[in-house]
Amino acid sequence: MEDTTPSLDVTTPTPDAHGEVGMDRTELETLIRELILEREAETRDPNTLTLIAWGGDLDRIWPTTILATTAAAGGMDVTVFFTFWGLFSLVREDKRITGTNWMTKGMAAMNRPSAPHAGLSKMNLSGMGPMMMRKLAEKNGIAPPEELLATAAELGVKLWPCQMTMDLMGLKSSDLIDGLSEPVGAATAIERMKHSAISLFI
């Protein structure tokens, strides 16, 4: 019996559910090559570093501020975008409760803002972990993150609070430490990352 099953031609466009013809394989490969070439042609400043600080734990804030100050001291153009729990590290130490309603105030009550009160993501031990970590850092001459944040500002590091997170968590500019840039949105952070030689998500 003769096989009447039609052969599949990968180069033949196949209509979708609406009867429209999409790209065939050759066109798709061409598009991908063009996108790769466009990406490779993008200008990236080799002297720029962008850090996305999303975690408010001590073991996230510390490496973020160490990297930022080290790079800035070496002459790099550095920006840190603080979003979600990372933004809590920028709250002033004397602001015990932040927020505009019972939910945002409740989050601050359960997760005390500000870098000096940050806990560890592991082995927090009801506050014993951060205390021991700070003691070890002091013995090894490592500055605490709240001091490194001030140093970063002095070195010209751009410290960007996330505007959306501020709105979400009911934070005001007066709740935050000095030396920060004006709040920006995610689009601004992404645009900065597009032109940075190094972008890290911590």
Residue 40 lies in a domain: no
Residue range(s) defining the domain that contains residue 102: 46-201
Residue 82 lies in a domain: yes
What pLDDT, on a 0 to 100 scale, did the predictor assign at position 6?
47
Average pLDDT taken over every residue of the chain: 83
The CATH number linked to 87 is 3.40.1260.10
Say which residue, 178 or 106, is predicted with more confidence: 178
Say which residue, 180 or 10, is predicted with more confidence: 180
pLDDT at 98 over 70: yes
Residue 5 lies in a domain: no
What pLDDT, on a 0 to 100 scale, did the predictor assign at position 145?
92
Tell me the CA distances in angstroms from 54 to 25, 57, 94, one per residue in order. 40, 9, 22
Residue 29 lies in a domain: no
Tally of domains within the chain: 1
Say which residue, 23 or 59, is predicted with more confidence: 59
The percent helix, strand, coil of the chain (3-state, each to 5) is 50, 15, 35
Residue 148 lies in a domain: yes
Percent of the chain at pLDDT exceeding 70 = 86
Mean pLDDT in residue range 109-129: 80
Tell me the CA distances in angstroms from 135 to 41, 117, 139, 199, one per residue in order. 48, 14, 6, 31
pLDDT at 2 over 80: no
Residue 36 lies in a domain: no
Tell me the CA distances in angstroms from 43 to 14, 29, 34, 38, 137, one per residue in order. 37, 24, 16, 10, 39
pLDDT at 52 over 50: yes
Residue 94 lies in a domain: yes
What pLDDT, on a 0 to 100 scale, did the predictor assign at position 8?
42
